[in-house]
Amino acid sequence: MNRNIARAVLLSAGFIWGFGFIVNKYVLDNGWDDSQLLFVRFFTATVFIFMIFFKKIIKTDSETIKKGLFLGIFLFLGFFFQTWGLEETTASNNALITAGYIVFLPVIIYIFERKFVRIKTLLAALITFIGIIIITVDFKDISSGINMGDVYTFIGAIFWGIHIYLLGKTAKQKDPVVLMAFQLLVVSIFAFIAMMIKAGIPQVDFSDWNSSKLLVAAVIIGFFASFIAFVFQSIGQKHSNETEAAILISTESVFGPILAILVYNELFSINLLLGMILVFLGVVLSEIDVIELIKKTRNKRFNKKNKAS
């Protein structure tokens, strides 16, 4: 696979996850509990990944299984709080705040490895945080405070950051597809427990399309967003560098709000647009060495001038 195809695959994953926010919001707005959606979505993904990669999974070693199960705990916590937050906030806010996980990564790295955070990373974190504040706080009514759905999403983003850090360390040693299989299995198990405690098995009337289409939507988003997109991410990252992959995947934070406005009829606002720009700018800045990029650009121009002369 060449690099351009890898870029297209990663961008496709970002688009799928961006659209996933809309489908998830639709299911939650029409009566399902967040734990019910989480279980159906990840049970679907688990079934497909074990069916398709069964021969590879069955040959795996016990250490890979243990690491996959451990990673699954953080994947569950990230999705649990993200989906819970989506119940009480907009798809746009949910998508944008979730993107904050990329900025949390340097802090997490410092905590685990005691590596100092660079100035440009702190600047990126500040820009992203300002963007999140702009989209979550109603400045016309400060007394109303911050939406709890945004708070839950923010907590989920922290767990996302921890998960990505640990996955990055483990995936270099173990097969990422096998690791993902056992992570999805753990999320399915915990989601089932949460569902039985909170809401029970979703009631679906198959004679009523309005009822059954929620189950169909949950299964579809499970197949595409929790199976296909993760496979796309694994394939794309294998054929591109980490910085490029992170930026292309984070386009979910741009696709999410745009699709929410176009497809789900969420209200457009200047605050949302400004917040979206700042969050994405912070994400890009956190992954790109701007000074080094400027130097490389200048050197290329200088070399071209010398060749022309």
Q: What is the pLDDT of residues 190-218, one digit of tens each?
A: 999 999 999 899 988 888 888 899 999 99
pLDDT tens profile 35-53 = 999 999 999 999 999 999 9
Could you tell me which residue, 65 or 254, shows the higher pLDDT? Answer: 65
CA torsion sign, 194 to 199 to 204 to 208? negative
Amino acid 139: pLDDT:
58
pLDDT tens profile 141-185 = 555 567 788 889 989 988 988 887 887 778 767 888 888 899 999
Could you tell me which residue, 89 or 242, shows the higher pLDDT? Answer: 89
Looking at the predicted structure, is the pLDDT value of residue 296 above 70?
A: no
Q: Residue 29 in contact with residue 90, Cβ under 8 Å?
A: no
Structure tokens at 110: 């410092």
Residue type, 7: R
